[in-house]
Amino acid sequence: MVNPSMAALGNNRSTIRELFEYGNQRAAVVGRENVFDFSLGNPNVPAPDEVRQAILAEAAGDPVALHGYTSAQGAADVRQTLADDLNRRFGTAYTGDSLYLTVGAAAALSCAFKALACQGDEFVVLAPYFPEYLMFIESGAGAKAVIVPPSVEDFQINPDALEQRLSAHTKAVVINSPNNPSGAVYSEQTMRRLAELLQSKEKEYGHPIYLISDEPYRELVFDGVQVPFVPNYYDDTIVCYSYSKSLSLPGERIGYVLVPPQAADSAELYAAVCGAGRALGYVCAPSLFQRIAARCTGLTGDLAVYKTNRDLLFDGLTAMGYRCVKPAGAFYLFPQTLEPDDRAFCERAKKYDLLVVPGTDFGASGHMRISYCVATETIRRALPLFEKLAEEYR
Ligand code: PLP
């Protein structure tokens, strides 16, 4: 007999995947250009040209070294280069020994959860959240996820709501800024209040409460917004990073876990992250893309199109009466649906071939996620359809 919960996970596609498949079916009927698929967070901006140049330069080198295994934690010179880059940008003093290279942020998170989870532990997740957290925490690490309801007025952190969910069982709190799905960037004030709360709870419970900072959108911000670097606010932080969005390399699967030396029990924690990677069978992160990440430090894809798309969609939808917190980063808009039942609303949107994801999937009912990492023309052509949809509610 197979593990029934794994079979259930494999059989039950996420709503996002369902929508994606539905979009493909509709495209065969009405034409690809008439399906407005805002479901997936797949960057539409190409990787910067330097990535291609780096691949060519690496390909000209020794193929055995290029494609061979690296150390489990990643090639030492690559890790040092990435640590130097963090130090330059955030005034830190890390060495490569604080970094563990991974198969994207998903693996970084899975390693962090598994490294920490002991019997009876709870991981606190703030809604709206990336739905896979629940999978990684519960099915992957065998721990319990505790959800904090969203602060829908600004999608910052409500410290009182968070405090109510913290307990002696809390092993870590997971945050994600810039946020998928709200696009919110946690302000410096939010970070300070969060750090104060967690520090006081660490004292009260007499054990560390780690902050797992999931940062695949770190560089994707607009209007000069600064993303506070979380370890500079709270010592017991573990950073999970990925190049999937910043370099538009989601299929190449490259990212890292950063365990800063300031974090409680950091040497043990780093060993546990390596152990988790081993237990999960990751062996090492893709060796070619370890080298590409090192060659492309400080670069991003051209983010201008995301800003254009955000402005077009935000201005267009709010003018029609949709209510929405203006996102400061990532490439998602998270407006309120025009009826409380977000699933019913998203079903109705399909009538116009508008594919948007119900907020319930992210722990925030009454909302929809619109991924705007699409061609600007798609947004231009979709806006009249959002207007027709809104007319149904007037
Ligand atoms: N965390 C968040 C918030 C995400 O949105 C995603 C991907 O969309 C991931 C993690 C996983 O990223 P990766 O593709 O690097 O595994």
In order along its 394 residues, the chain shows pLDDT tens digits of 999 999 999 888 788 888 988 999 999 999 999 999 999 889 999 999 999 999 999 999 988 888 999 999 999 999 999 999 999 999 999 999 999 999 999 999 999 999 999 999 999 999 999 999 999 999 999 999 999 999 999 999 999 999 999 999 999 999 999 999 999 999 999 999 999 999 999 999 999 999 999 999 999 999 999 999 999 999 999 999 999 999 999 999 999 999 999 999 999 999 999 999 999 999 999 999 999 999 999 999 999 999 999 999 999 999 999 999 999 999 999 999 999 999 999 999 999 999 999 999 999 999 999 999 999 999 999 999 999 999 999 9
Residue count of the chain, please give it: 394
Give 106 Cα–ligand 1 centroid separation in angstroms. Answer: 6
Residue 384, CA atoms < 13 Å, CB-side half-sphere = 4
CB 301 within 8 A of CB 244: no
Task: Provide the token pair at 356.
Answer: 């948007």
Residue of 39, 132, 137, 253 with the most ligand 1 atoms within 8 Å of its CB, for mutation: 132
14, 16, 242: residue to mutate for ligand 1 pocket, most atoms within 8 A of CB: 242
**Among 16, 135, 137, 245, which is best to mutate for testing ligand 1, by the most ligand atoms less than 8 A from CB?**
245
Ligand 1: residue whose CA is nearest its atom 2: 130
Ligand 1, residues at Cβ distance < 6 Å: 41, 104-106, 130, 176, 180, 214, 216, 242, 244, 250, 255
CA 172 to chain centre: 17
Q: What is the position in ligand 1's atom list of the atom closest to the CA of 176? A: 3
Between the CA of 105 and the centroid of ligand 1 the distance, in Å, is: 5
Quote the CA–CA distance of 121 and 361 in Å, as a whole number.
Answer: 24
Cα 216 to ligand 1 centroid, rounded to whole Å: 6
Half-sphere exposure of 117 (CA within 13 A, CB side): 21
